[in-house]
Amino acid sequence: MKKALITGIGGQDGSYLAKLLLDKGYEVTGIVRNLNSVDDKKFKYLGITGRIKLLEVNLMDLSNILRVLGNEDYSEVYNLAAQSSVGLSFKQPIGTLEFNIISVANLLEAIRIAGPKIKFYQASSSEMYGNVSRENLPVNENSIFMPVSIYGISKASAHWITNSYRKAYGIFASCGILFNHESVFREDNFVTKKIINTAVRISRGLADSLTLGNMDVRRDWGYAPDYVMAMWLMLQYKEPADIVVCSGQAHSLTEFVKTVFQKLDLDYKKYLKSDTKFYRPLDLQVVYGDNSKAKKCLGWEYSLSFEKLIEKLVDDEIQYLDWQAGAKGK
């Protein structure tokens, strides 16, 4: 039985990846910052509570990671732990840079010392590209990184550290350059979660407005459960690689809001408000990717249209809210 270690297992991607690996027969261990503060709602909802082993590990401490790798024979390590909010990265720049860079270096160094045969997946991000001119879109694996956010800078640094360990030490280290991917497990500070959750609450008479910032940004949005499959496929590929995972289409935040509200038979204009406090100091205007390499090398296909994605996210949110209400009532 293969053993996999997932950092950031309590997040959106970590939870879905844990479910995927368990279904494939893996023994899954997850790293968390604090065992006493683990919110296991996602695990319960996915039906994997009790099937995963959780370890409290400080990823800023190399000795801690060495001890973990020395205790088990892991075949794959998926690094999904990060301060992952672009907005928060402007408010906490030093903490974002320190954790998102040093934790990756520590994991790779621990693998170099204790388990050089371990396959390593690093979660890179489309934020690394920064503001790309329209003639250079869509971006791919060979596009230049020019990040504008602190988060993007931290992810670009971690990306190059991973590449360096791959080339210098022969470690099987792959980077998945994932574009925005959504689900019911998105944290509340992400705008897509805020939009969908608020719209559903409005439809139920539990809220009366939605307040947002810049509506003109255009993003490449996809479905998180489909994207974690690409993560797994990368570590099954014949060689380590950097691979873009995206839908290949860009849509504006206005389109996102309009489509969500239409799904609920609501006119978004009646409920939408704007507030400059939700604007970021620096923001990407438009970015979308080319997933040709993922198709060619991994056989990974993304098939959801934008409208089907929104429909699925809204249906999932309603189901998840109803489940949470039922769980509280028990």
Question: What confidence tens digit (pLDDT) does each residue in 207-230 have?
Answer: 999 999 888 889 999 999 999 999
Q: What is the DSSP letter of 273?
A: E
Q: Which residues contact 51 (CB under 8 A, 6 or more apart)?
A: 22, 28
The active-site residue out of 78, 121, 151, 268 is: 151
Query: Which residues, listed in sequence order, are joined to residue 76 by a DSSP beta bridge?
Result: 4, 119
Q: Is 127 a catalytic residue?
A: yes
pLDDT attached to residue 216: 85
Q: Are 35 and 3 in contact, with CB atoms under 8 Å apart?
A: no
Q: What is the mean pLDDT of residues 288-295?
A: 98
Q: Which of 219, 186, 215, 218 is nearest to 279 (CA)?
A: 215
- Quickly state the pLDDT bin for 156 (edges 50, 70, 90): very high
Q: Is 85 a catalytic residue?
A: no
The active-site residue out of 125, 143, 149, 157 is: 125
pLDDT attached to residue 286: 86
Predicted TM-score of the model (pTM)? 0.94
Q: What is the mean pLDDT of residues 272-288?
A: 73
pLDDT attached to residue 38: 87
Q: Are 174 and 233 in contact, with CB atoms under 8 Å apart?
A: no
pLDDT attached to residue 84: 76
Q: 76-133: per-residue pLDDT in tens?
A: 999 999 987 787 888 899 999 999 999 999 999 999 999 889 999 999 999 999 989 9
Q: Which residues contact 293 (CB under 8 A, 6 or more apart)?
A: 140, 141, 241, 243, 244
What domains lie within the chain, and their CATH numbers?
3-181+221-245 (3.40.50.720), 186-219+250-287+304-329 (3.90.25.10)
pLDDT attached to residue 323: 96
Q: What is the DSSP letter of 35?
A: G
**How high does pLDDT run on average in the chain?**
94
SS (H, E, C) 194-212: HHHHHHHHHHCCCCCCEEE
The active-site residue out of 16, 126, 127, 320 is: 127
Q: Are strands 173-178 and 119-125 parallel, antiparallel or unpaired?
A: parallel
Q: Is 239 a catalytic residue?
A: no
